[in-house]
Structures are given as C-alpha cells and as structure tokens.
Amino acid sequence: KIEMSDLFFCHVLLTLLILCEVSKYSDIAHQIINLAVYGKAQNRSDERLAEFTDTIGNRVSGSKNLDLNVHLELVKIPHWVRGEESAVMLLPRNHTLAILGLGSSVGTPPGGIEAEAMVVESFEELKKRASEAKGKIVVYNQPFVSYGETVTYRASGASEAAKVGAVASLHPHTGWQWYQPGVAQIPTACITVEDAQMMARMACRGQRIVVRLTMRDQTLPDVDSYNTLAEITGSEHPEQVVLLSGHLDSWDMGQGAMDDGGGVTISWEALSLIRDLGLRPKRTLRTVLWSAEEPGGVGAAQYFQQHKANISNFNLVMESDLGTFSPLGLQFTGSDEARAIMKEVMKLLATINVTSLEEHGEGTDVNSVHYVFFPGASLHTADQRYFWFHHSDSDTMSVQNPEEMNLCSTVWAVVAYVVTDLDGMLTR
C-alpha cells in the first residue's frame, strides 16, 4: 500500500536528482556562452535582424529558410487597412494634429467628423462627466503608469467613449484596439503626447477645443497567414516539446526591429547555436514565430487550439516580446518544484551575470496558456527605453545593440537547451 507520505518522499527525491543533474550542464552552458558572446557567432543575431528588417521592413509577410526543419502552419488573421488619415484642431487655434488610427478602427464619413473635444485623464473622470460627452470627441490624456495598466485606455477607450455618446476618441498611444460587442463603433486614433497635454491645458483654462477628424481606415475579410516553425527534433522524446518564441508580425511603423524582431531573432539564434555545437536534446526544441500578435495573440491562440490534443506534451513555453536589451533575468510562472529547477538552470549563466529568476512569465502570445496548462518563461531585459520606441517610427535597428543581443541569445539558448534535455519534464 502506498501512503501519501511515500509519494511526497518520491517527489522530493526526484526533484533533488534533477537539481544535481542540472549542474552537469555547466560545460555545455560555457560552450554556448563562448560561441555566442566571444566566438564565431558573435553579433550574428544582430546581423540577421538588421538584414531582415532592412530588407523586409515592418508588416513581415514572408519568412527566411532557417536551414533547419522549418515549416509553416496556417492561421486566419484580421486584415485591417490604414487609409488616408488626418486631423486638425480648428479652435482655439488652427493646428494640424499628427495622428495614427488605432488598429481595427472604423473610418469616419467621407467629410470627416467635426466636433468639440472633451479631455479626460481617466475612465473615472469620463464616467463622472458622462452627461457632457454626447456628440464630442473624447481626448484621453491619461498618465503613463505601466504598460499593463495604461494600455487599457488604448484597448477599450473607444468603446468606453461610445457608451457615453462620444463620436470619436483620441489617445496618446498607438497599436491595436478592440470594440466591445453591442457598443457603437466610433473612429479612434492616436495623437502625440504633446498634443494631448496641450489640449488638457487648454481645457483647464476653459478654452473651447474643436477638432476635425478624417479617417478612411477599413477592415477587410480575414486572410490566411502562417505561424513559422523550426525545430530540432528530440532524440528520446520527440513528442515532448519546449517552445521558444517571438512574434513575426509588427505594427506598421518603423521596422519592427524591437517589437518583436529581437525576440524572433534570438529564438532563431538559439536553435542555430545549439545546432552549431552539434547538440541534440532529448526532447524537441521548437522555435515558433507567431503571426498576428498585434491584434491580440491571434496566431498563437490558433496554434494552441490546433495542438490541443498534445498539450500535455508541452514542457515549457518561452516568449521574448519586451525587447532584447541587456538581459537581467528570466521571468517564470510554474510550480514550486519547476521553479527550484529553473533556479538551478539560471546558475549556469553566472559568468554572464544573468542568474535572477523572477516571478510572472508573460507575453501576449502565451499569457492565456501559461497559467492553465504549462510552465512559462519570458526574458526580462533592461527595458526602461522600450516605450520610447514602441509602435513608432523609431522602432528600428538603431535601438538594437549587438552585444546585448549576444547575451539575450545566450540566455535563451542555455535555458532552452537544458530544460529540453533534462531527464524529466518540469512538473505542472
């Protein structure tokens, strides 16, 4: 008869065995570090990313042959097209506003919309002043707190404004937005932070602000696209997989080098490093370059749906989507036992000073599945400057630094290889 305490004991023993096992990888970790940081692969990820983004630019629609076992998997993605867009402030003075329609926005009538602007700092203020909003263009001037908190203004600001009768909304932040079901769909665009703050000052002085907004944006039927997959097939448990990922699509400004060219390139580079060293892990190491992350993790959601039957074989899912600046550590979501193992794995990176294992693995593409099905990890880098460039024309190769990318690729490759090769799967 097996007692609960026996099972517990077995579990602890297994965990201890795995911890011992991790330290055996220090040789391989050093080979990867030497190759990527100091050796022949130095700056390769940066060079690949530069060639890729300089040649293709944003809105990537093809993929390079990675010279590995590469294939494409079909997904359906939204097809929104930016049309001619313009906005002018007519009162209290004439001033052209630089605008950028938010993804999925409807257009205005051909002559545009001319209306008084109502500036608010928060959804709370919008609700309090709801009776003033009818027929107005709501201008959000919310302070930036954090991406997670502030992005909700971009994501649902149009619907919140429509609920109180506004005819359009303007925001100091660009990217995709989502209309809420059953709420009138009003045009919505990004303006500059400078203009949002200026209009807030004008409103504060009691000056009447009038804006004319013209947008020809439209949504066409969904189109076919592909998640791009490359893998090194496992030698002992090919059906069990570790996923390394970033998203291949980008916003339509700049080159999409930072968001998420960097994440894509280090996920590709990690496979190359492991292959260059002639290593073949016991499980399958699969790099997935997601399609259509920007409209809300569309390609990833379909991937996990398509692979639902084999979901119990996913051992760890990793995503890099917050820049590939100087790496600080790995963010991880998973069981305590899995965390203990990941802590040991990070010790293998001591010589490049990246040993910290933090809480909360994240990434739009994998958020929905981490917590439910399997452990997840994301790369944490010195990303203080991320939102200077995010979704703007300045998201170009000039943001990237080859030495930082060498380090990011190394972290990605070492963690991915070791977890893919350990005797046991990470516990759920």
Q: Give a three-class secondary structure readout of 11-66.
A: HHHHHHHHHHHHHCCHHHHHHHHHHHHHCCCCCHHHHHHHHHHHHHCCCCCCCCCC
Alpha-carbon distance of 317 to 294, in angstroms, equals 19
Angle at CA 33, nearest 5°, toward 30 and 37?
A: 150
**Binding status of residue 111 toward ligand NAG by CB under 6 A:** no
CA angle 154, 159, 165 (to 5 degrees): 125
Which region, left, alpha or beta, applies to residue 254 given φ > 0 means left and ψ of -120 to 50 means alpha?
left
Q: Which of 143, 137, 177 is nearest to 157 (CA)?
A: 177
Q: Which is nearer to Zn ion, 119 or 258 (CB)?
A: 258
Q: Which of 174, 210, 198, 227 is nearest to 63 (CA)?
A: 227
Check residue 282 for interaction with ligand NAG (CB under 6 A): no
Cβ proximity to ligand NAG: between 33 and 133 the closer is: 33
- 414 vs 273: CA distance, rounded Å: 9
| Near ligand NAG in 323-342, by CB under 6 A | none
Q: Which does 260 bind (CB under 5 to 8 A by kind): Zn ion, ligand NAG, none?
A: Zn ion
Residue 309 as a binder of ligand NAG (CB under 6 A): the answer is yes
| CA–CA separation, 367 and 114 (whole Å) | 40
Give me the least distance between CB of 256 and Zn ion, in Å please.
8
Q: Distance between terminal CA atoms of the chain?
A: 26
Least Å distance, CB 166 to Zn ion, is 29
- What's the closest the beta carbon of residue 331 comes to Zn ion, in angstroms? 15
Size of the site for ligand NAG (CB under 6 A): 14
SS3 label, residue 153: helix
Stretch that binds ligand NAG, among 18-26, 60-68, 112-120, 305-313 (CB under 6 A): 305-313
The active-site residue, picked from 293, 294, 362, 404, is: 293
Q: Active-site residue 403, yes or no?
A: no
Closer to ligand NAG by Cβ: residue 159 or 240: 240
Taking CB under 6 A as the criterion, which residues in 41-60 touch ligand NAG?
42-43
**Residue 310 is a binding residue for ligand NAG (CB under 6 A):** yes
The answer to whether 376 and 54 are in contact (CB under 8 A) is no
Q: CB nearer to ligand NAG: give 43 or 392.
A: 43
Tokens of 331: 């963010």
Name which of residues 69 to 108 contact ligand NAG (CB under 6 A): 90, 93-94
Residue 365 as a binder of Zn ion (CB under 5 A): the answer is no
Residue 186 vs 300, nearer CB to ligand NAG: 300
Q: How far is the CB of 109 from Zn ion (least distance, A)?
A: 33
Applying CB under 5 A, does 321 fall inside the site for Zn ion?
yes
As measured in angstroms, the least distance from the Cβ of 250 to Zn ion is 7
109 close to 201: Cβ distance less than 8 angstroms: no
235 in helix, strand or coil? coil
Residue with tokens 């993804």: 103
What, of Zn ion, ligand NAG, none, does residue 57 touch, CB below 5 to 8 Å by kind? none
Of the CA atoms within 13 Å of residue 31, those in its CB half-sphere come to 15
Kindly state whether residue 39 participates in binding ligand NAG, applying the rule CB under 6 A.
no
Instruction: State the Cα–Cα distance between residues 33 and 273, nearest whole angstrom.
Output: 10
Stretch 197-236: interaction string toward ligand NAG, x if CB under 6 A: ----------------------------------------
Residues 230-259 interacting with Zn ion (rule: CB under 5 A):
259
Is 353 a binding residue for ligand NAG by CB under 6 A? The answer is yes
Span near Zn ion by CB under 5 A; candidates 119-127, 128-136, 224-232, 320-328: 320-328
What is the Cα–Cα distance from 268 to 300, expressed in whole angstroms?
A: 17
Q: 65 or 94: whose CB is closer to ligand NAG?
A: 94
Any idea which residue has 């013209």 for tokens?
214
Confirm or reject binding of residue 40 to ligand NAG (CB under 6 A): no
Does residue number 307 form part of the binding site for ligand NAG (CB under 6 A)?
A: yes
In the complex, the smallest distance separating the C-beta of residue 363 from Zn ion, rounded to whole angstroms, is 8
What is the distance between the alpha carbons of residues 226 and 362, in angstroms, rounded to a whole number? 22
* Cα dihedral value 53, 57, 58, 61, nearest 10: -90
Residues that bind Zn ion (rule: CB under 5 A) add up to a total of: 3
Amino acid at 93: R
The site for ligand NAG (CB under 6 A) is made up of 42-43, 90, 93-94, 239, 306-307, 309-310, 352-353, 402-403
Interacting residues toward Zn ion by CB under 5 A = 259-260, 321
Q: Which residues have a catalytic role annotated?
A: 293
